[in-house]
Amino acid sequence: MEQQIKGKQNKIYWVALASLFFGVVAFFTWGILSFIAIILGIIGLKQIKKIGLEQYRKLAILGIILGVIGMGWVVFRSILILQTFQKSGQEEIEVTVESIKNNFFYTDTKCNVGVSIRNGTYKDSDYRCGEETFNDVFFEIYDDKIAIGDLNGDSRNDAAVIIRKTYGNNEPIYELVVSINKAVIGAKKRMLVPRNPKLLEGKPDIESIKIESGIISLGLARCCPIKKESIRYILDKETQGLEVIQ
């Protein structure tokens, strides 16, 4: 695993270096040419006003617009280069069951609130959920159901967790939550970034949870011959949500 991560880091480094080279070339070509286009366009507008050749005004304005677009592209490219280097230099994080239980950030989509789970739980006596306020909210990692593994093919450990949520005296809600090991701009270390959770209907009889080959498998308590033994989910790269697979 460590060798795969180092290999990925080396690839990122060389890609960033190549990006820097072409970015410098672009800056000295597109940047200078774009700047010249803007200056000549401004000079052209002044001369047109003096001489009175209004039929050439559109050409001068077009030159200025294209120059501004060129300069904007150079600035945008430079920002991407800086972000690439910043991400490539971030420290790796160790994803373990204990680290997840003691520091797991979760987005409560029902109330659009971000909460931090510590020691496997989160409590709040004044929890605002839209126009409602609950005085007894309790979130927990349900029965220590935590899985660790690679979900997006980058050879880094991600996490899948079953969360049980209780709002006051209401019935508990169960969700499958995944967090992706991701580089975040401005952070010194990579972080587990939560994705869209999957609501689990009713009270699921989950015996186990695991990640294998990018697939999350929930092992279900078998009660009868026709009941499924497991449900499998995969992370949709476009929606960043979980989809059930056969």
**Res 146 pLDDT > 90:** yes
The model's pLDDT over 57-93, given as tens digits with 9 standing for 90+, comes to 777 777 778 778 877 777 776 676 665 555 555 678 8
**Res 36 pLDDT > 80:** no
Q: What pLDDT sits at residue 34?
A: 73
Give Cβ neighbours of residue 63 (< 8 Å, ≥ 6 apart). Answer: 37, 38, 40, 41, 44
Compute the distance between CA of residue 178 and CA of residue 194 in angstroms, rounded to an integer.
Answer: 6
Please indicate, yes or no, whether the overall pTM of this predicted structure exceeds 0.75.
no
Residue range 13-38: mean pLDDT, rounded: 65
Instruction: Label residue 53 by pLDDT band (50, 70, 90).
Output: low
Compute the distance between CA of residue 189 and CA of residue 162 in angstroms, rounded to an integer.
Answer: 25
Q: Where are the domains of the chain?
A: 2-88, 97-245
- Taking alpha carbons only, the member of 236, 237, 211 closest to residue 158 is 211
Q: What pLDDT sits at residue 151?
A: 94
Range of lowest pLDDT (42-56, 122-136, 176-190, 193-207): 42-56
The model's pLDDT over 165-213, given as tens digits with 9 standing for 90+, comes to 999 888 999 999 999 988 777 677 888 888 888 998 877 788 899 999 9
